[in-house]
Chains A and B, each alone.
Chain A
Amino acid sequence: MATTATINITSSDLMPGSSLNVSANTTLTKAGVTADLDQKESGVIKLVTGTEYRLGPLATEMSGDAHDISSYLYICNNTTEDATYYVDWGINETMIGRLYAGDWMFIPWNASDDAAEIELEPQGGTNIIEYCFFNSDFILPTAAS
Chain B
Amino acid sequence: MATTNASVTINSDISSYPITISKTMTMTKGANPSVGLEETTGLRTKKFTSDTAAVIVEADELTADAAHKVYIRNSSTSRANFFYVAYNASAAAAATAETIGKLYGGDWMLFPYNGSTNITVASSTTSETQFLEYMVFADGIVAAKG
Contacts and interface: CB of A to CB of B under 8 A. Distances in A.
Interface of A: 1-15, 20, 22, 24-29, 31-34, 36-40, 42, 67-68, 70-72, 74, 76, 83-84, 86, 88-92, 94-110, 112-113, 116, 132, 134
Nearest to B103: A108
A112 B96 contact: yes
B67 A134 contact: no
Contacts of A83: 28, 33-34
A1 B13 contact: yes
B112 A105 contact: yes
A20 B41 CA distance: 13
State the main secondary structure of chain B at its contact with A.
Answer: strand
A106 B10 CA distance: 10
Majority SS at the chain A contact face: strand
Q: How big is chain B's contact interface, by range?
A: 35 or more
Given A108-B103, A108-B104, 6 more contacts: A1-B12, A2-B13, A11-B5, A38-B14, A91-B87, A110-B94
B101 A107 contact: yes
A84 B29 CA distance: 10
Contact of B135 (A2, A22, A72, A134): A22
A42 B94 CA distance: 25
Contact of B4 (A10, A90, A113): A10
A100 B25 CA distance: 10
A100 B23 contact: no
Interface of B: 2-15, 19, 21, 23, 25-26, 28, 30, 33-34, 37-38, 40, 42-43, 67-69, 71, 73, 79-80, 82, 84-85, 87, 94-104, 106-114, 117, 135, 137
20 contacts: A7-B8, A7-B108, A7-B110, A8-B6, A8-B7, A9-B5, A11-B2, A25-B106, A26-B108, A32-B82, A68-B102, A70-B102, A74-B10, A97-B111, A99-B112, A103-B112, A106-B109, A108-B109, A116-B99, A132-B19
Contacts of A31: 102, 104
Contacts of A106: 8, 10, 108-111
A49 B110 CA distance: 25
Contacts of A101: 33
A31 B23 CA distance: 26
A29 B33 contact: no
A112 B25 contact: no
B96 A29 contact: no
A48 B113 CA distance: 22
